[in-house]
Amino acid sequence: MSLNSALSVAKSALGTTATRAEIVSRNISNSDTPGYVRKTAQTETLQSGGVKIASIDRRVDQMLNRLDRSNISDLAHQRQLVDGMTAYTDILGQPNDETSPAAYLSQFSTDLAALAISPNSSAAQQSALASAKALAGNLNAMSSVLDGVASEVDASIVLDVGDLNAALNEVANINLAVLQSPDGSMELTNQQDRLDRALDTIAGIMDVKITTDSRGMTQIHSGGGTELLVNNKAATIGFDRVGGTLRAGGIEITPGATTRGFASGSLAGLFEMRDRTLPAWQADLDTIAGGLVEGTGRLAELVPGSGMGLFTDAGNAYDPGARAGLAARIAINAVADPARGGEVAVLHSGGDPARLSGDTSIIDGMLDAINTPVQVDVADGSAQRSLVSLVPSIVARQQSERVNAETGYERQSVSASITSSSRSNMQGVDVDEELQNLLAIQQAYAANAKIVSTASEMIDSLIAAV
């Protein structure tokens, strides 16, 4: 090999090792950057004997990526269920907690029993009225909490839809950048890192199917097959708050409403809360309120012929066709409330001034309204249930649903953590390994620099000898 050839080979090696050193340094500096994938330089020997960087590769496992994104979707789904349920059940309490509807109903039953013993006692009448007000107020408050959670869920859906549109548009822009990036270049690997981060974001919002065409362009479909991104054209995702529907372009993708939608991700969890869990829990509260309004109106009228007992539907008699939202409207009959111009003694008299002092029929009617089994329809089935047995079971079941959601989340977290760690270990940066690589590169650089220096000295000596 001639001196010129040796000098040329060494120079090419110097350039290659400098690029490799830059890549390793970039790996180390980005070791804590979320979504950064370790880069490696692939070299190629030239016909002249020199060397060049053939490509810069990313160390990825697409199967791990798919599995991790599936776990991200499932985990985000469960997280929304846990958060939404907890916001309500923390205030609901357990059946024996003083703040639960079961405790308020129990206190009302106790005060009614005391009133039945002393029907003419003003103190007993006031206690029964106070516990009735507290029970109605608790149902109002719990209904308001559900309304608040529902509003937060809708607001979260709007935010998720905005994030989803932004991520889809980012992938569309990345697709264009990928087309313009040379194969095997650092620019291309940087765009692929951006792509993975955007796809992870999308997976957290909804489960998707991701494919890559021969040009490196990413195509995205919903779990049910609806086109979300084709080439650089992203569908606009829209949420109709009134109709409760989600659309991709003109196609409905509402979770649970169409096979073309999706089944996991934070949006799926939010829609499950919005369309299933919260309405069912509201219906439970309305069943309790309905039992109080209908039962006392039927068995213990406070004004003869009014059809209204101690509990009313915002001052009206019970209407079976208007039970939806009744928990928010249930109120004490004004005729029994001194604060509204009524007389608490009506709890005994039932509006009949001639009623005998020992006649407890009105009080007994109220006790029957909460203790006598009637046909009720709740989330866990239709059956003959009394309010005193139904209300604690509703509270316990709603708490159980929250516990089940938490258990599902914890179980999913374990699986997701294992996959995420495997993906990170496979694709992330091991600083110790990179430092060892950097040391080997420095040694190679020094060796090639010595060749260049020695060859230059030999050429100088030859020129000087001429």
- Please check the confidence at residue 251 and state whether its pLDDT lies above 90: yes
Band (447; pLDDT cuts 50, 70, 90)? low
Tens digits of per-residue pLDDT, 276-292? 999 999 999 999 999 99
Distance between first and last Cα of the chain: 21
Tens digits of per-residue pLDDT, 8-64? 666 666 777 888 888 888 889 888 888 899 888 887 777 766 677 778 888 888 899
Higher pLDDT residue, 19 or 272?
A: 272
Predicted local distance difference test score (pLDDT) of residue 33: 86
- Please check the confidence at residue 321 and state whether its pLDDT lies above 90: yes
Sequence-distant (6+) residues with CB within 8 A of 436 are none
Predicted local distance difference test score (pLDDT) of residue 425: 87
Predicted local distance difference test score (pLDDT) of residue 384: 81
Tens digits of per-residue pLDDT, 139-188? 999 999 999 999 999 999 999 999 999 999 999 999 999 999 988 888 99
Three-class SS of residue 40?
Answer: strand
- Please check the confidence at residue 100 and state whether its pLDDT lies above 60: yes
**Average pLDDT for 186-203:** 93
Q: Measured between alpha carbons, how far is 117 from 360 in angstroms, rounded to an integer?
A: 9
Dihedral sign for Cα atoms in the order 450, 455, 461, 464: negative
DSSP code string of 178-236: HHHSPTT-HHHHHHHHHHHHHHHHHHHHS-EEEEE-TTS-EEEEETT--EEEETTEEPP
Token readout for 140 is: 């109002």
Which of 329, 335, 326 is closest to 304 using CA atoms? 335
How many C-beta neighbours within 10 Å does residue 32 have? 9
- Please check the confidence at residue 3 and state whether its pLDDT lies above 60: no
Q: Measured between alpha carbons, how far is 434 from 33 in angstroms, rounded to an integer?
A: 15
Q: Measured between alpha carbons, how far is 414 from 453 in angstroms, rounded to an integer?
A: 57
Q: Measured between alpha carbons, how far is 171 from 166 in angstroms, rounded to an integer?
A: 9
Predicted local distance difference test score (pLDDT) of residue 462: 65
- The one-letter amino acid code at 100 reads S
Predicted local distance difference test score (pLDDT) of residue 379: 61
- Please check the confidence at residue 454 and state whether its pLDDT lies above 80: no
Predicted local distance difference test score (pLDDT) of residue 15: 72
Tens digits of per-residue pLDDT, 78-97? 999 999 999 999 999 999 99
DSSP code string of 385-418: E-HHHHHHHHHHHHHHHHHHHHHHHHHHHHHHHH
Cα→Cα distances 395→102, 109, 378, Å: 7, 17, 12
Task: Report CA 352 to chain centroid distance, whole Å.
Answer: 56
DSSP code string of 76-140: HHHHHHHHHHHHHHHHH--TTSTTSHHHHHHHHHHHHHHHHHSTT-HHHHHHHHHHHHHHHHHHH
- Please check the confidence at residue 356 and state whether its pLDDT lies above 60: yes
Higher pLDDT residue, 460 or 430?
A: 430
- Please check the confidence at residue 382 and state whether its pLDDT lies above 80: no
**Average pLDDT for 315-337:** 96
DSSP code string of 302-336: SSTTS---SEEETTB---GGG-TTHHHHEEE-GGG
Token readout for 449 is: 């620099």
**φ, ψ dihedrals at 174, nearest 5°:** -65, -40
Tens digits of per-residue pLDDT, 392-437? 999 999 999 999 999 999 999 998 999 999 988 888 888 888 788 8
State the average pLDDT for the chain. 89
Contact 153, 85 (CB under 8 A): no
Higher pLDDT residue, 9 or 261?
A: 261
Q: What percent of the chain has pLDDT over 70?
A: 91
